[in-house]
Amino acid sequence: MQKISLVIISILIFTGCSAIDDAINDAVDDTLSGDVTAETIKAKEKVLILNNVNHAACLAIKNGLAENGNRKNAETLVTDLGVTCDTYGKKDGNPLEIENDTECAEESLSEWLDEESNGNITDLEKAQGDKACVIGFDL
C-alpha cells in the first residue's frame, strides 16, 4: 500500500512540475512576443520562420532586426515548433530572396546564421532551443 501511495505521489509531483514549467514557458513566450499574434504576422509583407531557437536567441534576433533598416516594422512571435509559411498564409520560397521575391522562408537557426552576419549570436549550441522565432516585416 505504501509503495502504491509513493508512486501516486511521485506521479502527481512530476506532473505538477511539468505544468509549472509549461506555464513559465508560456509566460516567457508571451513576454517576448508582446501584443504580436499570428494575425499580426499574417498582415506583414514578409515572414521569416527560424526553428529550433531558444528564448534568448529569439530576443537577440528581434533586437538585431529592429536595428536593420531593410526590414521595417519588424514584429516577432515566439511560438511552438511546427508553424510553417502556410500558418501565416504566405508562399514558401528561397530564404536568400526574402528581401526580394520570396514572401516567406522557413529555416533552422544554424542555416540562418550561416547566411546572416549576426554578431549577437556567437555560440550556436547555446542559442538552440525548442521554439520557433517568427519574424514578420515590411519592406
What pLDDT, on the 0 to 100 scale, is given for residue 117? 57
Which stretches in the chain have pLDDT values below 70?
1-34, 65-70, 116-120, 122
Residue 47: inside a domain: yes
CB-based contact 77:37 (threshold 8 Å): yes
Report the C-alpha gap between 47 and 83 in whole angstroms.
12
The C-alpha angle 29, 128, 20, rounded to 5 degrees, equals: 40
What pLDDT, on the 0 to 100 scale, is given for residue 84? 95
Report the C-alpha gap between 13 and 123 in whole angstroms.
35
Q: Positive or negative, the Cα torsion across 22, 24, 28, 33? A: positive
What pLDDT, on the 0 to 100 scale, is given for residue 23? 47
Residue 21: inside a domain: no
Residue 62: inside a domain: yes
Residue 105: inside a domain: yes
Number of domains in the chain: 1
What pLDDT, on the 0 to 100 scale, is given for residue 104? 93
Residue 81: inside a domain: yes
What pLDDT, on the 0 to 100 scale, is given for residue 39? 92
Residue 11: inside a domain: no
Our CA dihedral for 4, 8, 14, 19, rounded to 10 degrees, sits at: 170
What pLDDT, on the 0 to 100 scale, is given for residue 5? 47
Written as one string, the DSSP assignment of 64-85 is: HHHT-TTSEEEEEEEEETT--G
HEC profile for 29-53?
Answer: HHHHHCCCCHHHHHCCCEEEEEEEE
All cell numbers assigned to 5: 501511495
Residue 94: inside a domain: yes
Place of cell 521554439: 131
Structural domain boundaries, residue 108: 35-138
Residue 6: inside a domain: no
pLDDT tens readout for residues 101-136:
889 999 888 887 777 655 567 677 888 889 999 989
